[in-house]
Amino acid sequence: MSSPWGLGIGAAIVMGALLGLPALILVPVIVLIVQGIWGRIDVTFLLVVAVCAGLGAGRATMEGEPAVPADLAESTGARLQVESLPRTSAAGDSVLVSTEMLTFDSGSRPADDLIVLAWLPEGERVAPGDSFDVGWSVDPLDVVDPGYGTYVESRGAVAVGRIWWLSDRSDGSAFYRRLIDLRHRVGDGLQKVLPGDAGALASGIVTGDDSGLSEAAREAFLRTGTTHITAVSGSNVAMLLAIWNLVIPAGRNRRLLVVQALIIVSIWMYAIVVGLESPALRAAIMASLILLAGRYGRRPDLLTLLALTSAGMVLWNPDHVRMVAFWLSVVATAAIIMRVPTAPGVGWKPLSRGVLEGVVLAQIATLPIVLWTFGTWSLTSVLANGLLSPLMWLAFPLCFVLAAIVVVVPWIAPIAALVPLIPLEISLSVVRILGAAMPPLDFHNAGLAGVVAVAVPCLAGLAFLGSDPKRWGGIVASQWRRRPVAVVALLIGPALGFLTALLLVLVRA
């Protein structure tokens, strides 16, 4: 059973970092409502979560806003240092850089370590620690598209730059450079032995680089709400663990220190190779803690571990709460944990049923985030994700094995590629068919009221389909018999909020 203390502390810190000072009121009120339904008020717990919300809010305010030069857009060049691993997308490779010097037509001057999201010239590879002179054009966030600006800001950058050329280069970390070269070698090798979109899909599954997808395939993934398949997420790390489970079955050997150290190192090496994206970082932390707990005979509650891991990430870097990938990963993982059985010795039938139910539950849980961020949603997304789930559980390990073959014994890779090609092509066919079946619904004009109108029934669905609906239903029924007026008072507020939001959506439509 999940620990209310762990869940409360973790959630309070994250909400504090997200909402700031208002969380000092909102979090205790929510806890008080839940305790009221439960039938027991714990003042100590209430005070602790209030302090944790204040801790999260205080940590977020510690990140001061950097002073952006008024003439930054007039800069024609700079001396930069690479601060992050590069990320690859259809638009090219991007990387976070800090400025050491800015160049203008009138001359150069020192810069105050401004963080800029810079797009690299085609074919150029850089690694953390590299420094170089560049010719570029740069735009502060107040002149870029608001949605894109929010994404750039969530990565800690104050501007977007397009680098045209590099010179006077000084190489940084050789370790990171080798990992980046390995990522490109794996991605290029997969696309070489697998034809067309299948190779790009395999590359996206293993490395997160799906830039080779055709425009038609990319649009089909967008229409069906399945772009997360080619994005590096916790499922990639989970699949890596599953491969280790096949190689070293549960038993005495799995508990050997050298084996557990090898598994943990491989997980973190993979997370670094794919760029330490928020979902991969969270999954790597959780996987490491689970393995270490198992060594000492402990089985941590996954939902509590998720809450505390998320809180730790936010305390380390408050920018995580502004990243859509962070929230989608945390919410989807929580929904899946609620349905997937984790007890030892669970058969494949209940496990498969739990995974499929978890995928559906994750779609429900993330729907408000998707609508708020992207403004569109496809009715085919639940069906598409349900059909792709078993296919991906087959394709993921096969693609990882093929990636190892590509690197170690590339001469047999063309033959080995025939095996993962089957689930990959079936997956692409499913996405294309469902993508063409129905256009996505447009919610851009619904606004916050529309998101609230969708979020309330989604929360009700989570409560009904969650891990223990009968238990919570019994608690509510018991409190209804004892305190009907209090239960009505606790439920009438959300109900009125939902009806008001729905009315606003209908009026706008």
Per-residue model confidence as pLDDT tens digits over 455-480: 666 766 666 666 555 555 665 666 56
Residue 500 corresponds to which tokens in the numbers above?
A: 């008001």
pLDDT category at 426 given cuts 50, 70, 90 is very high
Q: How far apart are CA 270 and CA 182, in angstroms?
A: 10
Distance between terminal CA atoms of the chain? Answer: 44
Contact 73, 143 (CB under 8 A): yes
Q: Return the higher-pLDDT residue of 236 and 251.
A: 236
Give the model's pLDDT for residue 509: 46
Residue 193, H or E segment: helix 174-193
168: Cβ contacts below 8 Å, ≥ 6 apart: 132, 133
Q: What are phi and psi of 341, to 5 degrees?
A: -70, 135
pLDDT at 259: 78
**CB-count exposure of residue 263 (10 Å: 0-12, 13-18, 19+):** buried
* Segment 323-370, tens digit of pLDDT: 778 888 888 888 878 776 665 555 556 666 666 777 777 777 777 777
| Cα–Cα dist 509/505, whole Å | 6
Q: Under a CB-based contact definition with an 8 Å cutoff, are residues 111 and 80 in contact?
A: no
In the numeric block, which tokens belong to residue 339? 């349905």
Confidence check: pLDDT of 83 > 80: yes
By DSSP bridging, strand 441-442 and strand 107-110 are unpaired
Q: What is the pLDDT of residue 167?
A: 85
Burial zone of 305 (CB within 10 Å; 0-12 exposed, 13-18 middle, 19+ buried): buried
Per residue in 99-139, pLDDT (tens digit) is: 888 888 888 888 877 888 999 888 788 888 888 999 999 88
Partners of 78 in beta bridges: 102, 134
DSSP H stretches of helix in 296-417: 302-316, 324-339, 348-374, 381-408, 413-416
Give the model's confidence band at 70: pLDDT under 50 very low, under 70 low, under 90 confident, else very high. confident
Q: What is the pLDDT of residues 13-57, one digit of tens each?
A: 888 888 787 788 878 877 777 776 666 777 788 888 888 888 888
Q: In terms of DSSP H, where are the helices of 20-133?
A: 23-38, 43-61
Tokens describing residue 494: 């959300």
pLDDT band at 505 (very low <50, low <70, confident <90, very high): very low
Residue, of 63 and 390, whose pLDDT is higher: 390
pLDDT tens, 345-355? Answer: 555 566 666 66
Number of Cβ within a 10 Å radius of residue 168 = 9
